[in-house]
Structure 1
Amino acid sequence: MNVPLLIARRYFLSKKKRNIISIISNISMVGVAVGTTALIIVLSVFNGLEDLVRSLYGKSDPDLVITSVQGKSFELPAPLLVRVRKAPGVSLVTEVIEDNALLQYRDRQMVVKMKGVSDNYHYQSNIDSAIVDGSHELQRKGLSYALIGAGVQHELSITLDNRFAPLKLLYPKAGKFKVSMDPDAYFTQQPILAGGVFLIEQRIDDSYIFVPLEFARELLHYGSRRTALEVKVKAGQDIDDVQQTLRNTLGKGFKVLNSDEQHVSLLKAIKVEKMFVFITFAFILLIASINIFFSLSMLVIDKKKDMAVLMAMGAGRRTIRNIFLFEGAIVAQVGAITGLVVGVSICWLQQTFHIVSMGMATSVVDSYPVKMQLSDVVLTGVAIIFITISVSIRPALNASRLDVRDNL
């Protein structure tokens, strides 16, 4: 039988008249419960936001992207392209030329992200399913067509397949030029027809325009250079294995990025924010747990005679110390379990019934995204254990140092 735990439970469950010690203990439990509930909810919301980012960008991201380690473009000789296409697990390779360009339509203009892609791009991204007007084909009847985002179309009021007023893309020429009023001296420009409008994700819809690879190559004078290769992995193949195979095939001059690595800055920012939120709420839990320190200190003073009797009966200082450590642990445990149950319940209700909405008509989701993870529960539990020991050890040591003769 664990005597210190038995005595600690008796003190905790004592039905004596309420006094200041029990009031402070109850305040401690409520504080720990509220802090634990808030911590679980906030961490779950961050998990939900992380998954939301992955799902939004996953609609348009390829499985793997190959880019150059140095510079924004690289030479793509035919043998290198063949090696990538024949790599184990590779289903499809799309050549990409991407850069900023000035888009003009009638008397309006805006800077867009022009992405030149090879003809197999619609197999890579399933963009045909995102077309809301027009066609996904970039080449039709010998003519080049551009796919424009819904936001770009709205901004410039673009009419599809308007041969009397085609789109015009301009790109700065390289080198130094004499001062001239003629824009042709500074820009390379090419016309193209708008063939379709896509609706994928707001960031892409508001700034992207897809054009045939040859069109982009001629406008930018890229020749055999490319800014990226987008790789589609065969069904059933492990993306990480294919990624490592391509890294070994291409060598150190190229980066092979999976979906998370393509947006590493954004995902890292979410993780850093989640870490700082956890630290902040851990400090709040620590402040709430200080009440445990005061209640134990007052309990030690109140139970001096009991401790002296136990020590006179043969109880060691370690036994006395453990009584108050267990007492603090019980108070924190009751509050933590209550907080965990309430926090998990609230998160489950939000996941199931979407009670709390984002409150914005333009939001991509109707309600706050929430995702519970076992690691968050474990981490919260570890933090509470550490905090409990930290605030309980001082009163417990004071109790173990009581002088028997002075308190009998």
Structure 2
Amino acid sequence: MNVSLLIARRYFSSKNKRNIISIISNISMVGVAVGTMALIIVLSVFNGLEDLVRTLYGKSDPDLLVTAVQGKSFETNEQLLQRIRTTPGVGLLTEVIEDNALLQYHDRQMVVKMKGVSENYFAQSDIDSAIVEGDHRLVRGGENYALLGAGVQHELSIALDNRFAPLHLLYPRNTGKKTLSMNPETAFSQQTIIAGGVFLIEQHIDDSYIFVPIDFAQRLLNYGSRRTALEVKVSESRTIEEVKQDLQRVLGDKFHVHDSDEQHVSLLKAIKVEKMFVFITFAFILLIASLNIFFSLSMLVLDKKKDVAILRAMGATSRMIRNIFLLEGAIVAQVGAITGLTFGVAICWAQQTFHIVSMGMATSVVDSYPVKMQLSDIILTGIAIIVITITVSIRPALNAARLDLRENL
């Protein structure tokens, strides 16, 4: 057995340590345990929030989104659409026209994001599972219907299937002039449509989006064959990344092909950055808690001067003496880390299983705080504890290795 480890374990479990050293050592373990537990819980919550964002937006996001590199719209033709459809792995192609429009209902009005989609849109989107009122179909009996976000409906108090009070959508006409006419009839193109259903996905989408048939959006915006995006559903035979690369080669450098994460890169990056800063903050808290290890080891070195001198007289090297106290600090940190890790994992499991801590908001799309444990977080936390333990233990260990034999016998 490693002699340094054996002696370090005896020092750790010894009942003959002075009371103050035992107290400081125990405080060190408790501090490391609490810090480790908090770090695992907080990182797991951030993982859960990241997954929640993907789940929420996944109801309306396509697998791949094709947009123009320059401008907000681009010309389409049957040849371009056929090239995309025949790309291996492309299961479904949906045409999209999306722009801001003015929505009027009775004497109320608001600016909304109008998204015109082709008939096959709901074959690739799960938004129909988020319907809370009405019907998701945009065309029924040859008549056009609009699908509204819950926030839009609430803001304008819109009644569904009311043919006597349809929705009025207005969009500025492109007259080629720099100034807008003061006459609303000539300044705006206008179309009416009946509200057919209400969806509830995520606040940003619910408060601003309405879905309409693509031919309705085409007439209102006078887009002709132009589209703002093409949405692609990937078949199960190929991965999204493979199809993305093939589509990018087929379309060339005039188009962007974005996967689901890239469609919300700013939001997901913000969560990752916050997670990183939280990790750094808690690592500093762990460092402060581990300073007690420094003090306990320093006092232990003073208490064991005679033992160190005897070991040196028996032939122990400076390296062996140093390793004894380094391992002593490692044992203290390890016991605290394992305890904290056990409690942290247990709390996260309980939250995942029993949903103990609720969001506390009646309008929340989830009942409880989402958590997701990842092995990478546990490994990263372990590495941080190892680095911190070495940092705070090296000084007392070096001091022990430098003790003079003659002065302490």
* Superposition TM-score, scaled by structure 1 size: 0.96
CA distance in 2, matches of 1:108, 1:166: 13
Contact 1:138–1:211 (CA<8 Å) still a contact in 2?
A: yes
Q: Compared with structure 1, are the counterparts of its residues 387 and 17 closer, same or farther at alpha carbon in structure 2 (3 Å cutoff)?
A: closer
Shift of 1:202: 3.3
Shift of 1:179: 7.0
Deviations 1:309-333 (A, max 9, x none): 1111111111111111111111111
Contact 2:58–2:126 (CA<8 Å) still a contact in 1?
A: no
Deviations 1:290-341 (A, max 9, x none): 1111111111111111111111111111111111111111111111111111
Shift of 1:206: 2.2
**Letter paired with 1:208:** Y
Can you give the 5+ residue segments of structure 2 that lack an aligned partner in the other structure?
Answer: none
Shift of 1:167: 1.2
Contact 2:149–2:200 (CA<8 Å) still a contact in 1?
A: yes
Deviations 1:112-155 (A, max 9, x none): 11001111112121444444444333334443322222322222
**Aligned counterpart, 2:383:** 382
**Letter paired with 1:379:** L
Q: Compared with structure 1, are the counterparts of its residues 219 and 19 closer, same or farther at alpha carbon in structure 2 (3 Å cutoff)?
A: same
**Aligned counterpart, 1:73:** 73
Contact 1:177–1:185 (CA<8 Å) still a contact in 2?
A: no
Shift of 1:30: 0.7
Contact 1:98–1:115 (CA<8 Å) still a contact in 2?
A: yes
**Aligned counterpart, 2:254:** 253
**Aligned counterpart, 1:279:** 280
After TM superposition, list the pairs within 5 Å mapping 1:386-401 onto structure 2.
386-401=387-402
**Aligned counterpart, 1:240:** 241
CA distance in 2, matches of 1:133, 1:33: 49
Shift of 1:79: 0.9
**Letter paired with 1:87:** T
**Letter paired with 1:375:** S
**Aligned counterpart, 1:354:** 355
**Aligned counterpart, 1:36:** 36
**Aligned counterpart, 1:183:** 184
**Letter paired with 1:307:** V
After TM superposition, list the pairs within 5 Å mapping 1:107-146 onto structure 2.
107-146=107-146
Shift of 1:229: 0.4
Q: Compared with structure 1, are the counterparts of its residues 346 and 260 closer, same or farther at alpha carbon in structure 2 (3 Å cutoff)?
A: same
Q: Compared with structure 1, are the counterparts of its residues 361 and 182 closer, same or farther at alpha carbon in structure 2 (3 Å cutoff)?
A: same
Q: Compared with structure 1, are the counterparts of its residues 401 and 258 closer, same or farther at alpha carbon in structure 2 (3 Å cutoff)?
A: same
Shift of 1:203: 2.8
CA distance in 1, matches of 2:258, 2:275: 24
**Letter paired with 1:116:** G
* Superposition TM-score, scaled by structure 2 size: 0.95
Q: Compared with structure 1, are the counterparts of its residues 312 and 345 closer, same or farther at alpha carbon in structure 2 (3 Å cutoff)?
A: same
After TM superposition, list the pairs within 5 Å mapping 1:209-224 onto structure 2.
209-224=210-225
**Letter paired with 2:82:** V
Contact 1:75–1:224 (CA<8 Å) still a contact in 2?
A: yes
Moved more, 324-333 or 360-369: 360-369
**Letter paired with 2:254:** G
Is 1:152 the counterpart of 2:152? The answer is yes
CA distance in 2, matches of 1:129, 1:317: 69
Is 1:51 the counterpart of 2:51? The answer is yes
Q: Compared with structure 1, are the counterparts of its residues 80 and 354 closer, same or farther at alpha carbon in structure 2 (3 Å cutoff)?
A: same
**Letter paired with 2:62:** P
**Letter paired with 1:186:** A
Q: Compared with structure 1, are the counterparts of its residues 74 and 180 closer, same or farther at alpha carbon in structure 2 (3 Å cutoff)?
A: closer
Moved more, 220-229 or 195-204: 195-204
Identity percentage over the alignment? Answer: 78
Contact 1:50–1:267 (CA<8 Å) still a contact in 2?
A: yes
- The alignment covers a number of residue pairs equal to 408
Shift of 1:407: 1.4
Shift of 1:232: 1.0
Aligned to 1:235, the other structure's residue is in SS state: coil
Q: Compared with structure 1, are the counterparts of its residues 247 and 233 closer, same or farther at alpha carbon in structure 2 (3 Å cutoff)?
A: same
CA distance in 2, matches of 1:107, 1:40: 52
Aligned to 2:312, the other structure's residue is in SS state: helix
Shift of 1:23: 1.2
CA distance in 2, matches of 1:222, 1:180: 20
**Aligned counterpart, 1:167:** 167
CA distance in 2, matches of 1:398, 1:374: 37
Aligned to 2:253, the other structure's residue is in SS state: coil
Deviations 1:144-183 (A, max 9, x none): 3222223222222223333333211111233436675422
Q: Compared with structure 1, are the counterparts of its residues 199 and 19 closer, same or farther at alpha carbon in structure 2 (3 Å cutoff)?
A: closer
Contact 1:321–1:400 (CA<8 Å) still a contact in 2?
A: yes
Moved more, 60-69 or 35-44: 60-69
Moved more, 274-283 or 47-56: 47-56
Is 1:295 the counterpart of 2:325? The answer is no
Q: Compared with structure 1, are the counterparts of its residues 131 and 287 closer, same or farther at alpha carbon in structure 2 (3 Å cutoff)?
A: closer
Shift of 1:223: 1.9
Contact 1:138–1:212 (CA<8 Å) still a contact in 2?
A: yes
Contact 1:177–1:186 (CA<8 Å) still a contact in 2?
A: no
